[in-house]
Amino acid sequence: MSPTRPRTLALAALILFALLALSGLNPYDRLTWALEVLPVLIALPLLGATYRRFPLTDLLYTLIFLHALVLMMGGAYTYARVPLGFHLADLFDLSRNPYDKIGHFFQGLVPALVAREILIRGAYVRGRKMLAFLVVCIALAISASYELIEWAAAVTLGQGADEFLGTQGDPWDTQSDMFLALLGACSALLLFSRRQDRQIGRMQTPDICTKADGRSPGSSQEIERHQEGGQT
């Protein structure tokens, strides 16, 4: 592990905390801001607490950083009012602000890679097809759970939850949100699997992809063979 890595991650965390504070200075709706940035408030301390015992790959830390930015932007403006979304709506001639769909895409992409890394490093699954299936299932389960949270907020808060829901009059908002999460999970598998395998292989720590003989694989090829169920 690079000796500069802890400093880089600490700097990234400080930047996120600073941006989080900035996003909360004058948000469009205070309750919506609190609900939207809650995952960031949970994730950052959790990542810090587990860093020594279970550090993640650089790829995953980078994507978590980007996902946090998406959440904080949505919290500050509400998803229906983020300026970037209006620019995208004008560019693609859309009838609504699509920024919330970016958020739900990340909601599938990042949890999929988190789940994949945990499953690989814990050697919980053998076979790349089963691994991919479970990763997508976990990402969709998280997306469905979030939709249930939105439903509970709507029931509890009534019209006060309108900004948090951000449906913008779309009767199929829930279904399209989950579809974007599915696209995010599939994109994670297609675009980042090999890079994640290489980074896991380079980490060379005893908890990574522990095999039956107690040794850790030293390359992405060994990780792939392990996923296929072969012995090395």
Place of tokens 């019209």: 159
Residues in the chain with pLDDT < 70? Answer: 1, 3, 158-169, 204-232
HSE on the CB side for 229, CA within 13 Å?
7
- Asked if residue 80 lies in contact with residue 97, where contact means CB atoms within 8 angstroms, the answer is yes
Q: What is the pLDDT of residue 230?
A: 46
- Measured in whole angstroms, how far is the alpha carbon of residue 106 from the centre of its chain? 5
Whole-number pLDDT of residue 221: 60
The single-letter DSSP state of residue 82 is: -
The predicted pLDDT at position 173 comes to 81
| pLDDT of 215 | 44
Task: Count the neighbouring beta carbons within 10 Å of the beta carbon of residue 53.
Answer: 8
Amino acid at 25: L
What's this model's pTM, rounded to 2 decimal places?
0.85
The answer for residues whose C-beta is within 8 angstroms of residue 125's C-beta and 6 or more apart is: 119, 131, 134, 227
Structure confidence at residue 34 (pLDDT): 92
| The two structure tokens encoding residue 232 | 């090395």
Segments making up each domain of the chain, as ranges: 5-227
3-state secondary structure 194-205: HHHHHHHHHHCC
Strand positions, DSSP E, 75-163 = none
Residue 220 has a pLDDT of: 59
